[in-house]
Amino acid sequence: MRRDHRPYWMHAVWERYENAWARHFLHPHFDRLGPASKLTQPWYIELFGPNIEAGTTLNIVATRDAKVRLTVWSPAGQAGRISIGDAVFIAPGTRILATRSIEIGHACLFAANSTITDSDWHGLYDRVDPAPEGRPVRLGDNVWIGDGAFIGKGVTIGDHAVVGARAVVTKDVPAYAVVAGAPARIVKRLDPGAAMRTRLEMVGEIHGISRFMDDAYRRELSGNSTLGWLRSRLFPRRGD
């Protein structure tokens, strides 16, 4: 399909269904989840373990072939946790895996199939230890993790840093740095004095965000009809 043929009422019903499903089946698995979260296709989002919390306007998009997984492995005496700030966006296929602590700042962006883990999950010599060693991972505010990137144990990434696609990060990344490669190396430094717009600006007007998105869908889907949508599904034409 070149565009969305659904009438607005169909979009609105689907949104209500997704939100209700997420509230009933997914929200209880968070220790804390701030208001105005948007979990798209929440049946493809998997949470496992205790101590998973997220702030305001968390946005997760999952798909059937690219589930999003937030996992805390916390055996007796080992209190792992995942903490996610406000206005964070997580794309399909992202995995966040903690046995100790993963802390994600505000307004971070995770592109598809990125992985963040604070553990190797097995020792080089003891590969059956049920409580593997872990070292905390921390991402500052407005960090952008590129497609398929890997963030390993013990790493701290500074505010506004960018991790390039497929990068393998095993050492700390300073604020405003752009890193790429395997292992990741600094390839550019952003100007700290330049104006920086972030998703955190969306948090101050939670109800305004909802109205903005609703108005955008009304405009995009204006003129669509139920019969037109059925025709596009059953008898597609070139240009649909």
The set of catalytic residues is 122
Q: 178 Cβ partners below 8 Å, 6+ apart? A: 161, 162, 164, 186, 187, 188, 189, 190
Q: Tokens at residue 70, please?
A: 């937030």
Q: 47 Cβ partners below 8 Å, 6+ apart? A: 26, 29, 30, 69, 70, 71
Phi, psi of 27 (to 5 degrees): -55, -40
Max Cα-Cα span within the chain: 64
Q: Residue 172: which of 180, 184, 160, 187 has the closest Cα?
A: 184
Q: Residue 91: which of 45, 160, 53 has the closest Cα?
A: 45
Q: Do 176 and 161 touch, CB atoms closer than 8 A?
A: yes
Q: 51 to each of 74, 83, 119, 219, how far by Cα in Å?
A: 9, 8, 17, 40
